[in-house]
């Protein structure tokens, strides 16, 4: 772990972020009446760290990966590549591929929610009405009808919502955020409705019509010293609670014709998106020769003044490969350096959730606080297999250490006002059986 010479600013005020409207009502049980307003903040602010003991009532995904988790009222949605699930304490498997709904209090799966998605789901967002949600991924049909990688579905039944007809995305959608009447979409697509929109686009939140006001012209796919490359894409994005800042991470070297290496900040207004003057060159260096781009996740703090980026790439001294790094927004200027960076010593981090009390990170890491490790535990390294928590101000690992099986890694960390949901591809969490999903409550 390394720190900047200047002390970080005080801990942020603890309030939810990206909350469009507070939930007015909740489900009495899965299958009950849905609330008339959207979900709470994607990552709620917490006054303390969650417990290290997962609840026993969460269901199990029996294959694949849980990529995304979303709560609307008292209903939680799990999305990913899984095909079969099972209720806790029961033996009967349920064929419910890629997207399921469950009760946030009991964990019971709602077998009447049947969206019938034909490919991986990687992105979820609550719609403004609180009765539907947006789904994005690699699928091409929903409910048997064409839906090229983006759709809006009923939150109770999974049926497609009539009237939302987005243009076709020609490749995978990785992340979405609702900002006012606009749905911002990031992914590996190169065209939207046949129009060039590499990696980033927007659609009208009601009709799905293409919104040309978000066109930042991502370009310059990175190339390693061995010649490895890949198309331009956005791997992850986030929007501040006030809807004014957009952070995007992915495979690009320029944004709006200006140098931006894998990470960019944009300003959002009613008129659209414009590139901010905020920039850093810390992600310009290469990591592993097989990885042209190595940023994997980004999350803005609840108060909107800073964010954390997590990466893969291998142990390369002097770089931000295999790290979690905190950046301040501050002035919209260049040359930004991280307030702190916490190194795994050679293992990938895939996901991050900032709650105010902690910066939770997940992947297939073995250690944190390990800047001198080279696929080994260097001096000062602490064991944090699969999941860990970092102090938001000091950048050092917190004592919290539930441990989990590593696998490919922890793909999703999602904080609600009740605790922290974890999605992955593994079955063991805190030395107990929790197949691919777990929930850690607040104390």
One-character DSSP codes across 292-328: S--EEEEEE-TTSSEEEEEE-S---TTS-TTEEEEEE
- Is pLDDT at 10 greater than 50 in this prediction? no
What is the model's pLDDT at position 233?
98
Q: For the CA atoms of the chain, what is the radius of gyration?
A: 20
**What are 22-64's pLDDT values in tens digits?**
333 333 333 344 443 334 445 899 999 999 999 999 999 999 9
Stretch among 35-49, 109-123, 370-384 having the lowest mean pLDDT: 35-49
- Give percent of the chain with pLDDT exceeding 90: 90
Average pLDDT over residues 103-128: 97
Per the listing, tokens 């390394």 go with 2
Per-residue model confidence as pLDDT tens digits over 182-206: 999 999 999 999 999 999 999 999 9
| pTM score of the predicted model | 0.92
How confident is the model over 384-410, as a mean pLDDT? 98
> Is residue 18 over pLDDT 80?
no
Q: Write out the two tokens for 250.
A: 């992915």
Nearest CA-CA partner of 52 in 424, 412, 409, 386: 386
**Closest C-alpha among 204, 126, 128, 210 to residue 167:** 210
Of 9-23, 94-108, 124-138, the range with the lowest mean pLDDT is 9-23
> What does the pLDDT average to over 239-250?
96
3-state DSSP assignment of residue 348: coil
What pLDDT shows up at residue 23? 33
Map out the domains of the chain with their CATH numbers.
Answer: 2-441 (2.130.10.10)
Bridge partners, 389 (sequence order): 360
Q: Is a pLDDT exceeding 60 seen at residue 262?
A: yes
The per-residue pLDDT for 186 is 98
Residue 266 neighbours by CB under 8 Å, 6+ apart = 216, 245, 246, 247, 248, 255, 273, 274, 275, 276
Answer whether residue 313 shows pLDDT above 60. yes
Give the residue, 9 or 426, on which the prediction is more confident.
426
Please determine, for residue 81, whether its predicted confidence score (pLDDT) is greater than 70.
yes
Indicate if the pLDDT at residue 231 is higher than 60.
yes
Tokens of 353: 């959730």
pLDDT at 136 over 50: yes
The tens digit of pLDDT for each residue in 342-360 reads 999 999 999 999 999 999 9
pLDDT of residue 20: 32
Render pLDDT for 278-297 as a digit per residue (tens, 0 to 9).
999 999 999 999 999 999 99
Which residues, 6+ apart, have CB-to-CB distance to 222 below 8 Å? 229, 230, 251, 252, 253, 261, 262, 286, 292, 293
**pLDDT tops 90 at residue 12:** no
Whether the per-residue pLDDT at 19 is higher than 70: the answer is: no
pLDDT of residue 42: 58
SS3 assignment, position 336: coil
Q: In this structure, what token pair is assigned to residue 8?
A: 């970080």
Q: What percent of the chain has pLDDT over 70?
A: 91
Q: Which of 35-39, 115-119, 171-175, 346-350 has the lowest mean pLDDT?
A: 35-39
**pLDDT given at position 299:** 98
Residue 328 makes CB contacts below 8 A (sequence gap 6+) with 8, 9, 305, 306, 336, 339
The pLDDT value given to residue 15? 32
Mean pLDDT of 300-311: 97
């Amino acid at each position: 772990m390394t720190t900047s010479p200047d002390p970080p600013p005080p801990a942020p005020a603890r309030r939810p972020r990206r909350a469009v409207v507070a939930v007015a009502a909740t489900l009495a049980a899965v299958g009950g009446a849905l609330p008339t307003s959207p979900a709470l903040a994607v990552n709620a602010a917490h006054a303390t760290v969650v417990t290290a003991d997962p609840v026993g009532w969460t269901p199990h995904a029996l294959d694949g990966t849980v990529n995304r988790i979303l709560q609307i009222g008292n209903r939680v949605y799990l999305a990913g590549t899984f095909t079969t699930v099972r209720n806790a304490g029961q033996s009967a498997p349920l064929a419910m591929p890629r997207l399921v709904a469950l009760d946030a209090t009991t964990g019971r799966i709602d077998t009447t929610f049947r969206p019938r998605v034909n490919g991986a789901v990687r992105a979820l967002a609550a719609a403004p009405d609180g009765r539907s949600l947006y789904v994005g991924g690699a699928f091409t049909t929903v409910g048997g009808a064409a839906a090229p990688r983006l759709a809006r579905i009923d939150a109770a039944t999974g049926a497609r919502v009539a009237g939302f007809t987005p243009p076709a995305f020609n490749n995978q959608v990785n992340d979405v955020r609702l900002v006012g009447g606009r749905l911002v979409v990031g992914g590996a697509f190169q065209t939207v409705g046949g129009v060039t929109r590499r990696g980033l686009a927007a659609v009208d939140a009601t009709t799905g019509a293409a919104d040309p006001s978000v066109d930042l012209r991502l370009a310059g796919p990175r190339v390693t010293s061995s010649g490895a490359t890949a198309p331009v894409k956005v791997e992850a994005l986030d929007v501040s609670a006030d809807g004014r800042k957009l952070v995007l991470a992915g495979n690009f070297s320029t944004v709006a014709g200006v140098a931006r290496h894998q990470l960019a900040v944009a300003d959002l207004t009613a008129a659209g998106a414009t590139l901010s003057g905020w920039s850093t060159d810390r992600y310009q260096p290469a990591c592993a020769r097989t990885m042209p781009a190595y940023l994997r996740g980004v999350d803005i703090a609840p108060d909107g003044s800073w964010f954390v980026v997590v990466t893969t790439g291998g142990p390369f001294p002097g770089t931000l490969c295999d790290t979690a790094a905190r950046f301040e927004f501050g002035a919209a200027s260049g040359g930004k350096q991280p307030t702190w960076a916490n190194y795994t010593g050679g293992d990938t981090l895939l996901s991050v959730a900032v709650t105010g009390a902690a910066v939770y990170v997940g992947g297939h890491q073995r250690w944190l606080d390990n800047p001198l490790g080279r696929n080994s535990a260097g001096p000062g390294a602490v064991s944090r297999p699969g999941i860990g928590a970092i102090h938001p101000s000091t950048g050092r690992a917190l004592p919290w250490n539930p441990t989990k099986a590593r696998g490919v890694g922890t793909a999703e960390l999602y904080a609600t006002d009740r605790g922290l949901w974890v999605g992955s591809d593994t079955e063991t969490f805190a030395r107990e059986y929790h197949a691919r999903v777990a929930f850690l409550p607040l104390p």
